[in-house]
Amino acid sequence: MDTSLILNYVRTVYPQLAEKSLQEEIASVGRMVTFKSGDVILDIGSYIKSMPLIISGLIKAVREDSDGNEIFLYYLSNGETCSMSFTCCLMNKKSEIRTIAEEDTLLIAIPSKYMDEWMSKYASWRNWVMKSYEMRMQELLKTIDSIAFQKMDERLLAYLQNKALKLHSKILHTTHQQIADDLNASREAISRLLKQLENEQRVILGRNKIEMIVKK
């Protein structure tokens, strides 16, 4: 049952993995895994035994400093993967990031032993992995630029817009404290800036909910 279901997911969510034999291998060796919102999928310091192909949901990747403070890196959604997982799989390294399910998430876990083999065996897999690397690098550069060059209000708005884009929704279910943790800011500062964005008619604030207003 899982084999045919995985095959269907691969063909619909990952059409760029176009080779039929690759799709069939993924269905054969892949394992469907579900995570509840708030679950830690991968923790810092753990070895990575599989690479995720995300079918649905949203995953947040964060780094942690020596004092235990987290900083947001990027989001992963359906049709994407964590390129850092791929690197750690190939090099048998411990993870330097933490990934957390922001929503209930379904993914296909591919055992690490197939990562390198498929790079030389399937052109579509190789091209997709390289494109994934490029996308994650661009997102990391945006994060670095926002920390280095943007004011906190600009960082906050960009963060909210990016999350809404990944969720394909104008409604974000989150708290001021969760946002503050992601942006390494105080809850009071985030609450003040969210109120400022509401006054500017950029968002509508609710109880543990933020609605993005699309400007025409």
**Residue that finishes a domain, picked among 104, 136, 168:** 136
**Same structural domain, 91 and 40:** yes
pLDDT above 70 (res 1): no
User: Of the ranges 33-37, 52-56, 71-75, which one carries the lowest mean pLDDT score?
Assistant: 71-75
Q: What mean pLDDT do residues 106-128 have?
A: 92
Number of compact structural domains in the chain? 2
Q: pLDDT tens-digit profile of 65-107? A: 777 788 888 899 999 998 877 777 777 778 888 999 999 999 9
Q: What mean pLDDT do residues 25-40 have?
A: 95
- pLDDT, position 140: 83
H or E, element range at 31? strand 31-35
- pLDDT, position 66: 77
Name the band, by pLDDT with cuts 50, 70 and 90, for residue 216.
low
pLDDT above 90 (res 124): yes
**Same structural domain, 154 and 119:** no
**Residue that finishes a domain, picked among 136, 168, 192:** 136
DSSP 175-206: -HHHHHHHHT--HHHHHHHHHHHHHTTSEEEE
Domain range holding 170?
A: 150-212
3-state secondary structure 32-66: EEEECCCCEEECCCCECCEEEEEEECEEEEEEECC
**Same structural domain, 6 and 109:** yes
Listed in sequence order, the residues at least 6 apart from 161 whose beta carbon sits closer than 8 Å to its beta carbon are 212
**Same structural domain, 164 and 131:** no
Name the band, by pLDDT with cuts 50, 70 and 90, for residue 160.
very high
Name the band, by pLDDT with cuts 50, 70 and 90, for residue 125.
very high
> CA–CA separation, 109 vs 113, rounded Å?
12
Are 165 and 205 in contact by the 8 Å Cβ rule? The answer is no
Q: What mean pLDDT do residues 24-46 have?
A: 94
Name the band, by pLDDT with cuts 50, 70 and 90, for residue 116.
confident
Do the domain assignments include residue 58? yes
Which CATH number goes with the domain that contains 169?
1.10.10.10
Task: Provide, rounded to the nearest whole percent, the portion of the chain with pLDDT above 70.
Answer: 99
Q: What mean pLDDT do residues 169-181 have?
A: 93
Name the band, by pLDDT with cuts 50, 70 and 90, for residue 110.
very high
**Same structural domain, 29 and 114:** yes
Q: What mean pLDDT do residues 149-159 have?
A: 90
**Same structural domain, 163 and 99:** no
**Same structural domain, 7 and 85:** yes
**Residue that finishes a domain, picked among 79, 104, 136:** 136
DSSP letter at 113 equals: H
**Same structural domain, 46 and 119:** yes
Q: Vertex 31, ends 117 and 28: CA angle to 5°?
A: 55
Which CATH number goes with the domain that contains 105?
2.60.120.10
**Same structural domain, 10 and 65:** yes
**Same structural domain, 12 and 52:** yes
**Same structural domain, 32 and 121:** yes
Q: pLDDT tens-digit profile of 185-214? A: 899 999 999 999 999 999 999 999 999 997
Do the domain assignments include residue 145? no
Q: What mean pLDDT do residues 33-50 have?
A: 92
Do the domain assignments include residue 48? yes
Q: What mean pLDDT do residues 166-190 have?
A: 92
**Same structural domain, 132 and 155:** no
Do the domain assignments include residue 142? no
Do the domain assignments include residue 144? no
